[in-house]
Structure 1
Amino acid sequence: MYAKLETRTFLAMLVGVSLAFVLLMKPFFGPIFWAVAVALIFHPVQQLLHKKLGDRPNINALITLFVCLVIVIIPVLVLGTAMIGEGVGIYQKIQDGEIRPGEYIDQVNKSFPAIQSLLAQFDINVAELRDRTVSAFLGGSQFLAKQALGVGQNTFQFFLGLALMIYLAFFLLRDGSKLVELMIKALPLGDERERLLFAKFAEVTRATVKGNLLIAIIQGALGGIIFAVLGITGALLWGVVMAIVSLLPAVGAAIVWVPAAIYLAAVGDLVSAVVLTVFGVVVIGLADNLLRPILVGRDTKLPDYLVLLSTLGGIAMFGINGFVMGPLVAALFMAFWGIFIREFSEGAEQEARQPNSDQSSEP
């Protein structure tokens, strides 16, 4: 009796201390999460270096981390800085009256009155929609301006988070396999189940991060290039915006290039409008429709509709990190239920065979 009380007390304290540790780490969720993602994505590079250079964990981890810095982190920082700078410039032009978003919408309504009639059938007030669109445009550009100011004011905090992510990624690259084995020993789920779940976690994280980011880069680059060719103001900014919204399956970059094509047609630039529409549908659209199922759905082994729903739900729940967290939760959900169904059906079959074997043994 006393031994059971000791065990229960220890388990209760173990749960309590674990929850306290999770709360302690909560402010650093972003750096920790992306450090884990970096370690998982670049683990094949670590393994390749291990084969080439031998068992030199520190050197291999440093080289792998340097590769990550060169091809991912530094380009993202440069691109983000350029985007914020261009966004601030557009915000300043709006403030000076050089850019008037409301006039663009009025021009579209004037050139295409059928749009207003169509919206009226769905009880959509065009004036209210115009005001909301202008407010959203102003809010977006103002947000970028505030982000630029915030980055300047919180430079230390930003670089602290970045340094923490890089620091953790080094140790995860170096000791990741040992940590996984330690967690398998500690968790009371059964070694086979735990290995399956950890493998699924790594597989989905790699697929969603690599797949979604690669698609975002491709669509953003294509969109920025066509905007620059057509002479649209802020091509770099809109390219980055298209890269960000392309994280949303099904709609993606069309949120940006479709209104731009409509405006070009409204002002009479039909050639540019047609070029942008054809390029958006054929090139940008196919890049999403063809690559996303291959890079994300195939590796995660999730249906396309579940990838879409889990991505949207993840972004709603976890913010920008949700484009990885959503499919990850969905994949783990499927994995847990797959284990349960397989083991339950096997247990049921064994129980069904047991009475037959007992009856056959009777004289």
Structure 2
Amino acid sequence: MATDLVARRVFAGLIVLSIFLLALVVRPFAKGFFLAAVLAGALYGVHKRLTRAFRGRASISAGLLCFGVIVALLLPLTGFTAFLVSEAVDGMRFIQETIRTEGVEGLTERLPGPVRNLAERMMDRLQVEELRLDEKLQEQVSTQGGTAAKAVTGVVAATGSFAFQTVMMLIAFFFFLVDGKRLVEWLEKVSPLKSGQTEEILLEFRLVATSVLVSSVATAGVQSVAALVGYLIARVPVPFFFAAVTFFLALIPAIGAAVVCFAAAGILLITGHQWMALFLAVWGVVVVGLVDNIVKPLLVKRGLDMHGGIVFFALLGGLAMFGTVGLLLGPLIVAFFLALIRIYERDYGRSAAQPSAPATPPT
């Protein structure tokens, strides 16, 4: 008969094996589950108020919040991506058709003034007719049709994968809202930590996640306002449209708000406004680009008991190590470390280990 020590070791090994297998099952949806948990923690207060308003119907409240996430974030991003893909396909089709019917000269005549003059000078130097550049360009466009089709197919596949992950995140978000309280109670019950420690760590995670999300939205708003000022000064066409695009792209750290400034500067450049294009490009780097590195750590720090320098390096380190999701993971990892240190000092440190002084006997 196995001893109690052997049985404990075998059981511990089975637990480790089950955790490993569980990680394999969860891995395809790990980012979605993580973002769902973060959103649920940040919006749990709103969920509780809505649940009270609907007389305890938590499912209706969670469903409304899921719909709000779709409307506020996913639909504009998906629509903007579809617009870019559609415009790229239409542009490629226009170039191909123009070269086939009118040749290179017909294409250059449709360019803006400064670009058209530059293209005509280049064509004169290349002697288009002698080199039969029309035929070569038509051949090149025809041969690249398959590559363009593959590129579009890749974009569609990536969009499908993103949509699938988003659906999984929304499903997890719904259940985290509805059953999040019971999940926390279950973790507190089965955790080997002392009573209250698990809940304290989870509460720290919730505070960090809320601060990072709120600061991200607020920083995107500040960046879009700063960019709008630059668009108005540079007289960019439809400046408020560009400001709206700046706001949504500012929420995606891998792209950033300054990219929109560069795109608008490119439009000004090809339309003959060189100095305004230069101003807008500098404005995008110096003002719009640096706002994220200054405003976001300050806003995150306001909701946390953490030094501003630590927040700054946690954001940058998380972004460098984990990509976009690192903007949440970086501060969460640092907050987890600091919470453990604080709990250890309080419950196991010297102050907790010191015996209370014996009472002085009366004389």
| Superposition TM-score, scaled by structure 1 size | 0.68
**1:284-311 CA deviation, whole Å, 9 max, x = no partner?**
4785477424431211332222222222
Contact 1:42-1:68 within 8 A present in 2 as well: no
Matches within 5 A, 1:197-236: 197-220=201-224, 222-223=226-227, 226-227=230-231, 229-230=235-236
In 2, the alpha carbon distance for the partners of 1:218 and 1:256 equals: 15
Counterpart secondary structure, 1:300: coil
Question: Cα gap change, 1:268/1:48 in structure 2, threshold over 3 Å: closer, same or farther?
Answer: closer
In 1, the alpha carbon distance for the partners of 2:250 and 2:291 equals: 12
In 2, the alpha carbon distance for the partners of 1:58 and 1:192 equals: 28
Contact 2:314-2:331 within 8 A present in 1 as well: yes
Question: Cα gap change, 1:85/1:342 in structure 2, threshold over 3 Å: closer, same or farther?
Answer: farther
Find out whether 1:42 has 2:43 as its counterpart. yes
Q: Partner letter of residue 334 of structure 1?
A: L
Pick from 293, 296, 307: which aligns with 2:311?
307
Q: Partner letter of residue 319 of structure 2?
A: I
In 1, the alpha carbon distance for the partners of 2:263 and 2:80 equals: 24
Find out whether 1:243 has 2:237 as its counterpart. no
Q: How far 1:240 sits from its partner (Å)?
A: 6.9
Q: Which residue of 2 aligns with 1:33?
A: 34
Q: How far 1:89 sits from its partner (Å)?
A: 7.8
Q: How far 1:11 sits from its partner (Å)?
A: 2.3
Find out whether 1:334 has 2:338 as its counterpart. yes
In 1, the alpha carbon distance for the partners of 2:224 and 2:301 equals: 21
Find out whether 1:324 has 2:328 as its counterpart. yes
Q: Partner letter of residue 61 of structure 1?
A: A
**Structure 1, 178-187 or 234-243: larger mean CA deviation:** 234-243
**Larger Rg computed on CA atoms:** 2
Question: Cα gap change, 1:350/1:21 in structure 2, threshold over 3 Å: closer, same or farther?
Answer: closer
Q: Which residue of 2 aligns with 1:67?
A: 68
Question: Cα gap change, 1:269/1:158 in structure 2, threshold over 3 Å: closer, same or farther?
Answer: closer
State the percentage of identical aligned residues. 25
Question: Cα gap change, 1:160/1:277 in structure 2, threshold over 3 Å: closer, same or farther?
Answer: closer
Pick from 187, 207, 214: which aligns with 2:191?
187
In 2, the alpha carbon distance for the partners of 1:205 and 1:244 equals: 15
In 2, the alpha carbon distance for the partners of 1:326 and 1:161 equals: 22
Question: Cα gap change, 1:174/1:239 in structure 2, threshold over 3 Å: closer, same or farther?
Answer: same
In 1, the alpha carbon distance for the partners of 2:6 and 2:70 equals: 51
Contact 1:215-1:292 within 8 A present in 2 as well: yes
**1:119-154 CA deviation, whole Å, 9 max, x = no partner?**
xxxxxxxxxxxxxxxxxxxxxxxxx99875323235
Contact 1:219-1:242 within 8 A present in 2 as well: no
Q: Which residue of 1 aligns with 2:12?
A: 11
Matches within 5 A, 1:263-274: 269-270=274-275, 273-274=278-279
In 2, the alpha carbon distance for the partners of 1:88 and 1:225 equals: 32
Q: How far 1:25 sits from its partner (Å)?
A: 0.9
Contact 2:298-2:308 within 8 A present in 1 as well: no
Question: Cα gap change, 1:200/1:45 in structure 2, threshold over 3 Å: closer, same or farther?
Answer: same
Counterpart secondary structure, 1:185: helix
Q: Partner letter of residue 179 of structure 2?
A: D
In 2, the alpha carbon distance for the partners of 1:157 and 1:38 equals: 20
Q: Which residue of 1 aligns with 2:118?
A: none
In 2, the alpha carbon distance for the partners of 1:253 and 1:352 equals: 54
Counterpart secondary structure, 2:306: coil
Q: Which residue of 2 aligns with 1:56?
A: 57
Q: How far 1:192 sits from its partner (Å)?
A: 1.7
Q: Partner letter of residue 3 of structure 2?
A: Y
Matches within 5 A, 1:86-165: 148-153=152-157, 156-165=160-169
Counterpart secondary structure, 1:230: coil
RMSD between superposed Cα atoms in Å: 4.5
In 2, the alpha carbon distance for the partners of 1:178 and 1:10 equals: 26
Q: Partner letter of residue 175 of structure 2?
A: F
Number of aligned residues = 314
Contact 1:83-1:237 within 8 A present in 2 as well: no
Question: Cα gap change, 1:268/1:225 in structure 2, threshold over 3 Å: closer, same or farther?
Answer: closer
**1:171-211 CA deviation, whole Å, 9 max, x = no partner?**
11111111111111111112221111000111111211231
Q: How far 1:236 sits from its partner (Å)?
A: 7.7
Contact 1:311-1:322 within 8 A present in 2 as well: yes
